[in-house]
A and B are shown apart, each in its own frame.
Chain A
Amino acid sequence: MRSATPWSDVVELLVEATGETLYMVGVSTLIATLFGIPVGVWLQLTSPGGLRPQPAVHRILGFVTDLGRSMPFIVLLVALTSVTRLIVGGSIGSSAVIVPLSVGAIPFVGRLVQNILSEVHVSVVEAAVTTGATTVKIVRSVLLRESLPALINAIGVTVIALIGYSAMAGVIGGGGLGDLAIREGYQRFNDRILWGTVAWLAVLTTVLQFGFTRAARASDRRRHAAI
């Protein structure tokens, strides 16, 4: 029986792993949002009740999106190795995790965004149509702007989901909090690291969730509204 790791060392490990997690999750969320929002917009525009109904396009795009969402992340992680190598120049480390993480999150964000945009009332959208606004203008000033609070919440949901996925980053040497808990904590029977990480993850996700909820509410101009 070894003596327990000193708390100062645990904290040091946590700080380093938190940095890795936030890096992986932050960049992935950014990329997933950048690509996921257009996917969501496209899905919504082409849907039967959308501004540009295109049943065939909608069905194909929806199929691909749902296929992406149904893919277990661990499978994506290994399946995308060659793509990752092409993009980041290597297939190991935190940066390498960003590729599968982003790819996995784009369809996730896409569906979330489409659901959110579909909540904007038809009468509001039609009112904008009758002003002679272009589709681009309507997407920007009506669909996205009216949905901003819900979109901010959706990004929060994505961040927390990606923190969960990033726990598997250890498989390709990505590091991060999940990896710390499994490799240093669980596999080496180091309870301080295991439970310290678990507690810290709980705190981190709670704080992030709180922050996103606050930001969403601050952006909302509706008064008696449930988002």
Chain B
Amino acid sequence: MITVENLTKSFQGVPALKGVTLDVQSGSVLGVVGPSGAGKSTLARCVALLERPDSGAIRVDGTDITALGGTALRNARRQIGVVPQGDSLLRQRTAAGNIALPLESAGVPGPQRRTRVGELLDLVGLTDKAGSYPDQLSGGQRQRIAVARALAAGPSVLLADEPTSALDPETTGSVLTVLDRARAELGVTVLVVTHDMSVVRKICDDVAVLEDGRVVENGRVLDLVTDAASRTASTLLPAVDQNPVNESAYDRVADVVLIGFAAVGALLPEAANRFGVELNLLGGGFTRLGETPVARFRVGLTGERADSALEWISDAGAAVRRTLKGPQGVAA
């Protein structure tokens, strides 16, 4: 479990973090997103103990790690595995040698080190690349080795700054799978900085939006997508085209967010039947948030009982996010 309390950090008098407070529950994955220059990397570097904050605390399992020095600092660093931004592998060492580095730092003896390196290569699915040098690996493979290295010393927190920024979608998937396995199989708490919403969709339980050095939105991903006021929600959910011409043909137009079973069930057709309204899908689609299927549709309804139908959909567990036409805020 990791807690960030009121963290501030300035560079030459220019504030980069203006009081950041965050919680990451044990064994969960937090995504930190936000525009360029928001302070995401600065936050990550503070948590990685590469940058000392001006004020505030960072607690890992209750202990403030910001003021440590010497041996205590090095020990704390072993509690936090870091996948730094960009290429960070030793190019003169094999994949296995790179993963062994934190174990050498921790003074783990040779035979145990080899066993552990084997386990980690297995975890990231690169056992056959043990003897390859970084220049013989693809970008995605290098990044997975970097994750294995970060996990080698058995940290309780894993921190990754833009781990997929230079990768294509397919390779991104393989790296995210590894991060997800780390959480699932090793129980580590993961903090991942990203500008890619697909990373949040695929592996994050929670998301924090950083803007201009402040957290402007923070919460569980599944809660935020049904929150009408959330700006993150629209970037996480399937997009709908704006098509006012089309929409003018209906009595009511609404955005419906369906989560879990409801997303794959026949809720919408049933509502149409029950209330005798004509219900058309104007846009939207399906996605997944972690393992959970989620749908967001823009629907157009025609018929006297259109409002009742929307209300019923809402009562059935869907979030009717916005009634774009007709009475506002039917439900949620």
Residues of chain A touching chain B, judged by Cβ–Cβ distance below 8 Å, are 121, 123-124, 126-134, 137, 141-142, 145-146, 148, 220-225
Contacts and interface: CB of A to CB of B under 8 A. Distances in A.
Nearest to A127: B88
A126 B84 contact: yes
A133 B71 CA distance: 10
B60 to A, nearest CB: 13
In order of increasing CB-CB distance, the 3 nearest A-B pairs are: A131-B102, A127-B88, A130-B82
Contacts of B84: 123, 126-127, 130
Given A124-B87, A148-B92, 15 more contacts: A123-B85, A124-B89, A127-B149, A128-B105, A130-B77, A130-B82, A131-B102, A132-B74, A132-B75, A133-B74, A133-B102, A133-B105, A145-B92, A224-B135, A225-B135
Nearest to A149: B92
Contacts of B152: 131
B105 A137 contact: yes
B133 A222 contact: yes
Contacts of B274: none
Nearest to B83: A127
A223 B105 contact: no
A137 B104 contact: yes
A142 B76 CA distance: 21
B93 A221 contact: yes
B90 interface: yes
Given A123-B84, A222-B135, A130 B90 contact: no
8 contacts: A123-B84, A129-B50, A130-B49, A130-B50, A131-B105, A133-B102, A220-B92, A222-B133
B86 interface: yes
Interface of B: 48-50, 74-78, 80-82, 84-94, 101-102, 104-106, 133, 135-136, 146, 149-150, 152-153
A222 B78 CA distance: 28
B80 A130 contact: yes
B77 A129 contact: yes
Contacts of A221: 91-94, 133, 135
A159 B195 CA distance: 51
User: Does more than half of chain A's interface fall in helix, strand or loop, or is it mixed?
Assistant: helix
B196 to A, nearest CB: 19
B133 A131 contact: no
Instruction: Output the residue of A128, A130, A134 with the most chain B CB within 10 A.
Output: A130
B93 to A, nearest CB: 7
Given A131-B77, A134-B74, A134-B105, A126 B88 contact: yes
B136 A124 contact: no
Contact of A146 (B81, B91, B146): B91
A227 to B, nearest CB: 11
Contacts of B81: 130
A145 B105 contact: no
A102 B74 CA distance: 38
A223 B49 CA distance: 33
Contacts of A225: 91, 135
Contacts of A222: 91-92, 133, 135
Contacts of B49: 130
A129 B49 CA distance: 9
Nearest to B152: A131
A128 B92 CA distance: 14
A146 B80 CA distance: 24
A63 B209 CA distance: 48
Nearest to B98: A127
Contact of A123 (B87, B93, B149): B87
A146 B49 CA distance: 23
A146 B90 CA distance: 7
Nearest to B85: A123
Given A126-B50, A127-B84, A133 B92 contact: no
A132 B135 contact: no
Contacts of B150: 130
Given A126-B84, A127-B149, A133 B91 contact: no
Contacts of A121: 86-88
B154 to A, nearest CB: 12
Contacts of B48: 130
A29 B135 CA distance: 32
Contact of B105 (A126, A132, A146): A132
Nearest to A142: B90
Nearest to B78: A132
A124 B88 contact: yes
B248 to A, nearest CB: 54
Contacts of A128: 90, 101, 105
B101 to A, nearest CB: 6
Contacts of A124: 87-91
Contact of B92 (A134, A137, A146): A146
A131 B101 contact: yes
